[in-house]
Amino acid sequence: MATESVPIAAPFELSPEAKEELELVNRAREGDATAFSTLLNRYEGKIFRLAMNITQNREDAEDVLQEAFLKAYEHLDQFQGNSKFYTWIVRIAVNQALMKLRKRKTDRSVSLDEQIDTGEDTVVREIASWDPDPEQQFSQDELHTILQEAVDELAPIYRAVFVLRDVDGLSTEETAEALGLSIPAVKSRLLRARLQLREKLTRFFKRKGDNAFAYM
């Protein structure tokens, strides 16, 4: 005997955008493929970018995108509506991306549940200042490329947190929920990611500045 799908009820007052999303999810659960396609079109760009940042491989990222939305569609009945649909599918996508890394065996940091020692996270290392101003040396496109290359060098567990918090603009709580982490762990990894990026960029611009002055 088939069981009827029960629509998700909002546990609290939602914004108009959130209500629209919840309606799309309810319609998708009832078999409306168009509703699910709308959700896919809304978030596929962000999910693909996240997958690219973790896997650093376009083919793997495309696989992650397809697998994440397929699993989401198959398990829509498990979405309770207590969080954003994007937060829910991000966690699915991250798990799929990390599985890709495990299969490739190219990175040992493949578990987002791994405990991180945060004993020294509050100690901010002294970072040399950029001189001259990077914005005066490089165009916006060049700066974007330089930053992206620095992000690509981060370990996956740091890239995921950085992209969700500082690129996609999720809150600390939403990022923690999406990745299945505690809030302190998110803060710890975000701090480490920012410090590593700042150090990498400082060294890059200092090296470029030294090279430039060498020819003067």
We report the CATH number of the domain holding residue 27 as 1.10.1740.10
We report the CATH number of the domain holding residue 198 as 1.10.10.10
3-state secondary structure 3-50: CCCCCCCCCCCCCHHHHHHHHHHHHHHCCCHHHHHHHHHHHHHHHHHH
Same domain flag for 95 and 170: no
How far, CA to CA in Å, does 209 sit from each of 117, 131, 204? 35, 7, 9
The structure's pTM equals: 0.59
CB 83 within 8 A of CB 180: no
In angstroms, the CA 43 to CA 142 distance is 27
CB 130 within 8 A of CB 205: yes
Residue 72 burial (C-beta neighbours within 10 Å; 0-12, 13-18, 19+): buried
Of the residues 89, 104, 119, the one at which a domain ends:
104
Residue 34 has pLDDT above 80, yes or no: yes
Is 123 inside a domain boundary?
Answer: no
Same domain flag for 143 and 99: no
**Closest among 67, 94, 62 to 176, alpha carbons compared:** 94
Provide, rounded to the nearest whole percent, the portion of the chain with pLDDT above 70: 69
> Which of 24-28, 78-82, 98-102 has maximum average pLDDT?
24-28
Residue 7 has pLDDT above 60, yes or no: no
Of the residues 61, 86, 104, the one at which a domain ends:
104
Is 113 inside a domain boundary?
Answer: no
pLDDT, average across residues 176-192: 89
The per-residue pLDDT for 65 is 92
For the chain, how many structural domains are there in total?
A: 2
In angstroms, the CA 62 to CA 47 distance is 10
Domain region containing 165 = 134-214
